Amino acid sequence: MPDLACATCGRVAEYADGRWRCACGGPFESRQDRPFPREALGARAPGLWRYWEAFPLPGPEAAVSLGEGMTPLLPLRWDGVEVVCKLEFLMPTGSFKDRGAAVLLSLARHLGVTRVVEDSSGNAAAAVAAYAAAAGLACDLFVPADASPDKLAQARAYGAAVRAVPGGREAAASAAQEAAATTFYASHVWHPAFFAGTRTFTYEVWEQLGGRAPDVLVLPAGHGTLLLGSWWGFGDLVRWGYLARGPRLIAVQADRCAPLAAAWAGRESPAPGRTVAEGIAIAAPVRLRQMLRAVDETGGAVLAVPEEAIVSAWRRAAAAGLFVEPTAAAALAGLSAALRAGLCRPGERIVVPLTGSGLKAASAVARLLP
Ligand SMILES: [Zn+2]
């Protein structure tokens, strides 16, 4: 069976072809179906690589690792309801994006690549830069000229060459894609191997809940790397016979930039504004149609939360000892909204990933202090 198929036209491809999208312009989905052996997990070290069979790699010896994975679950009482947070901000670079970067950069090295390009000004940039460094690969990052210097400092510290592009996110993406004609495009948006990594989020939740799924997962959604990883990951577990069914997926966006929420409601998306939840401020997600399917097929919902609710949730999280970035707090604001709307209920197993560390946005969060 071929590794990949186009989500738009169905044409198939292989990872080894080195293509990052289909000739028709559509994004690829993985067609690999290689279960990790459930019975072997007990003897394996905690971390991402306990699931290596599910990755597009020949074996664990191909791993580029910084010790990622098996982030803790933490019970939290929120609006009077017991929920469970998964502390994704404890990853090596401070965000869940390390899951995708670990697998993607391992694949790049396995394919004999020596240089990668990526466009991101946030957590994906830091993650790709860190894993490129660990893999011994050169990394060129194309970023919007107005990107936050805080986040770029982390990527530059790992040795990435940062190239500022005037004209916003779209222009940075175009510049990266031009470079990708001759260089491996380590895109967290386009490359399906990145999603092979984000799927591990669900494998861990399933193990940590004693071989069960949550009833509901409430997660922030911008490009949908975690939303789609969760949809596909729980789909894997069901297909492999490890689970009867996956959770409802509730995707949370910021009111000021909510194209998925607009599409879900069947409305036109208004022009985006600036939000503190910059990690999910994506005006035109490439995989929008897949994201809608993920929500729809799991019986979930899409919510958009106002700026004040994000700031308030961020303050409450910090007051409980959880120093996360505002994007992560958007999920908690979404949890409050979902509880009010009856989209999830007390007594259900509710899991909320806290996706990124507040340390990454220290000057931005300083402005949120009362
Ligand atoms: Zn296609």
pLDDT per residue over 43-67, tens digit each?
999 999 999 999 999 999 999 999 9
Judged against a pLDDT cut of 90, whether residue 151 lies above it is answered with no
Judged against a pLDDT cut of 80, whether residue 114 lies above it is answered with yes
Going from the Cα of 277 to the center of ligand 1, the distance in angstroms, rounded, reads: 32
- 272, 275, 280, 281: CA torsion to nearest 10: 30
Mean pLDDT of the chain: 95
Going from the Cα of 189 to the center of ligand 1, the distance in angstroms, rounded, reads: 16
Structure tokens at 265: 């409601």
Alpha-carbon distance of 281 to 136, in angstroms, equals 31
Encode pLDDT of 1-40 as tens digits.
789 999 999 999 999 988 999 999 999 999 999 999 999 9
Going from the Cα of 14 to the center of ligand 1, the distance in angstroms, rounded, reads: 13
Q: Return the bridge partners of 253, or none.
A: 304
Neighbours of 47 (CB within 10 A): 17
301: alpha, beta or left? (left if phi > 0; alpha if psi -120 to 50): beta
Going from the Cα of 6 to the center of ligand 1, the distance in angstroms, rounded, reads: 5
Edge-to-edge strand list for the sheet holding 4-6:
12-13, 4-6, 28-30
Judged against a pLDDT cut of 80, whether residue 152 lies above it is answered with yes
Judged against a pLDDT cut of 80, whether residue 366 lies above it is answered with yes
Percent helix, percent strand, percent coil in the chain, to nearest 5: 40, 20, 40
CATH fold match for the domains 73-95+193-366 and 97-190: yes
Going from the Cα of 77 to the center of ligand 1, the distance in angstroms, rounded, reads: 45
Architecture of domain 97-190: 3-Layer(aba) Sandwich (3.40)
Position 223 scores a pLDDT of 95
Going from the Cα of 146 to the center of ligand 1, the distance in angstroms, rounded, reads: 33
* 292 class by beta-carbon count within 10 Å (0-12 exposed, 13-18 middle, 19+ buried): middle
Encode pLDDT of 213-263 as tens digits.
999 999 999 999 999 999 999 999 999 999 999 999 999 999 999 999 999
Say if domain 73-95+193-366 classifies as CATH 3.40.50.300. no
Alpha-carbon distance of 220 to 78, in angstroms, equals 17
Picking from 275, 243, 242, 247, the residue whose alpha carbon sits closest to that of residue 259 is 275
For residue 114, what are the CA distances in angstroms to 28, 106, 109, 262? 23, 12, 7, 41
Position 147 scores a pLDDT of 82
Sequence spans of domains, the chain: 1-31, 73-95+193-366, 97-190
Alpha-carbon distance of 185 to 19, in angstroms, equals 9
Which residues, by Cβ under 5 Å, contact ligand 1, an ion? 6, 8-9, 11, 22, 24, 26
